[in-house]
Amino acid sequence: MGTETFVRHTRIDASLGDVYDWYTRPGALERLTPPWVRLRVVKNGGRIEDGSKVLLRVGLGPLRFDWLVEHRDCVPRGQFRDVQIKGPFRQWEHLHRFEADTDTSTYVEDRIDCALPLGAFGQLFGARILKQELERLFIYRHRIIKHDIALHTARRVAPMSILVTGSSGLIGSALVPFLTTAGHQVVRLVRARPPSAAPNPDSQANVITWDPATGVLDPAALEGFDAVIHLAGETLNAIRWTAEKKSRIRDSRVGGTALLCGALAKLSRPPKVLLSASAIGFYGNRGGEILHEESEPGTGFLPEVCRAWEAATKPASEKGIRTVQMRFGVVISSAGGALAAMLPAFQVGLGGPMGTGWQYMSWITIDDVICAIYHLLLNDKIEGPVNIVGPYVATNRDFAKALGTVLERPAFVRVPGFLARLVSGEFADDVLLASARVEPRRLLDAGFVFHYPEMEGALRQVLGRT
């Protein structure tokens, strides 16, 4: 009594084997979880087979609860069912069905049968909201799987062994499941061995530890990787940059990169490629000047850090490792970063431009970021600095207007520049109020195609407001 049923179908232009295999690889659940959903995989049985269990931790406002589901009725390349053992619903069953349409296309059916908690009260007030949220979630899910499988099948490559630093950060936490669902093996280089609740460790064999603060890294542990993707670094976000914060920003980037690249240079079997993070902070505050990879660096704290950060990769390139410095712009994701920090104010109608609002904001969605990284990983002709920003730069006013439109909220509450400086000091001048009109010239020349080049469409994707 009171059971709700939700069914959604989609057609994917890939073979049944390619589609089913994607779903069964490590990281599939993380990849299919929208950035606005606070869900973490605590423990995963690792295989889609009868009796295998997955323990999730879900956040809802200030609440946290565990959700234990079990795989049942598993038929290879046919179906599997996820059944709630413990969790927020009185009943939850999610049937995944796969059926070949042609040799190169597959139908996927998602059917959810669930009973809400709190009896008639939950049914009355929750059923409509649940269906709206499920619709929102599966629009996102099906778009992601179509996109990922199309990308992976368009250029099939042999599985690679890839070392990733910064795997728990905004970019790393999205990149790792993207790589593992493509069939690559990912090993995470972390500052300390994670607890059993760490996201996505298939086993402790997939973790190597280091301590960049004290210079501890065993080069022997790095032998034999095909590629290294280095994303680790102290976050820039802060109310105010203290001397200690600035030291951590610099040391985590420059010192950590120097330690890693020094170790890579000592290997007898070094990786073929190193993709190392940098940032468009390299260019500094440049007003309306059009900037590209050959532009001169700016002046100030961030440009100085970025120059030293990129220079620290020199031992790797001198070893003959193809080295790319990825200059990231403002990464748009509701899971973290600038957008997540802005959302609370915009959601209640108190958002708006920062300062004059005429400063340029070179942005890119998290989905295009990970696709750009993959493009650089596979394109052996690219090395040196690459701007990872979208093709259409926006002013801060443009961004505020688009976000207000997507959220259906006013966006005219401007934060005066003097107030931002009073509260945040140097952080305001170097980040919040700085203007950088950066072009992704080398990505475009290399044939990269942006999936979300337009601001409003990009925000709708990452916020699930399609």
276 & 422 share domain: yes
143 & 176 share domain: no
Among 154, 180, 196, identify where a domain stops: 154
CB atoms within 10 A of CB 419: 13
Q: What number of CA atoms fall less than 13 Å from residue 244's CA on the CB side?
A: 0
pLDDT in tens, 348-372: 999 999 999 999 999 999 999 999 9
The predicted structure's pLDDT at residue 200: 43
pLDDT in tens, 294-328: 999 999 999 999 999 999 999 999 999 999 999 99
CB atoms within 10 A of CB 10: 16
338 & 455 share domain: yes
Q: At what angle do helices 366-378 and 455-463 cross, to 10 degrees?
A: 100
Q: What is the DSSP string of 49-113?
A: STT-EEEEEEEETTEEEEEEEEEEEEETTTEEEEEEEESSSSEEEEEEEEEEEETTEEEEEEEEE
**What CATH number has the domain bearing residue 118?**
3.30.530.20
Q: What percent of the chain has pLDDT over 70?
A: 94
pLDDT in tens, 118-163: 666 556 666 788 888 899 999 999 999 999 999 999 889 999 999 9
**What CATH number has the domain bearing residue 194?**
3.40.50.720
The predicted structure's pLDDT at residue 130: 85
Amino acid at site 246: K
243 & 185 share domain: yes
114 & 186 share domain: no
User: What domain range is 352 assigned to?
Assistant: 161-463
66 & 83 share domain: yes
79 & 203 share domain: no
* Secondary structure of 142-197 as H, E, C letters: HHHHHHHHHHHHHCCCCCCEEEEECCCCHHHHHHHHHHHHCCCEEEEEECCCCCCC
Whole-model pTM: value is: 0.93
The predicted structure's pLDDT at residue 197: 39
Among 114, 134, 154, identify where a domain stops: 154
Which parts of the chain sit beneath pLDDT 70?
1-2, 118-126, 193-205, 238
φ/ψ of residue 390, rounded to 5: -75, 165
Among 138, 154, 170, identify where a domain stops: 154
pLDDT in tens, 437-454: 999 999 999 999 999 999
Instruction: Sort residue 284 into left (φ over 0), alpha (ψ -120 to 50) or beta.
Output: left
142 & 167 share domain: no
The predicted structure's pLDDT at residue 199: 45
Q: CA-CA distance, 371 to 181, in Å (whole number)?
A: 13
49 & 173 share domain: no
**Which residues on adjacent β-strands are paired with residue 276?**
230, 325
The predicted structure's pLDDT at residue 389: 98
245 & 107 share domain: no
Q: CA-CA distance, 52 to 50, in Å (whole number)?
A: 6
217 & 116 share domain: no
Q: What's the chain's average pLDDT? A: 91
112 & 170 share domain: no
The predicted structure's pLDDT at residue 62: 77
Number of structural domains the chain divides into: 2
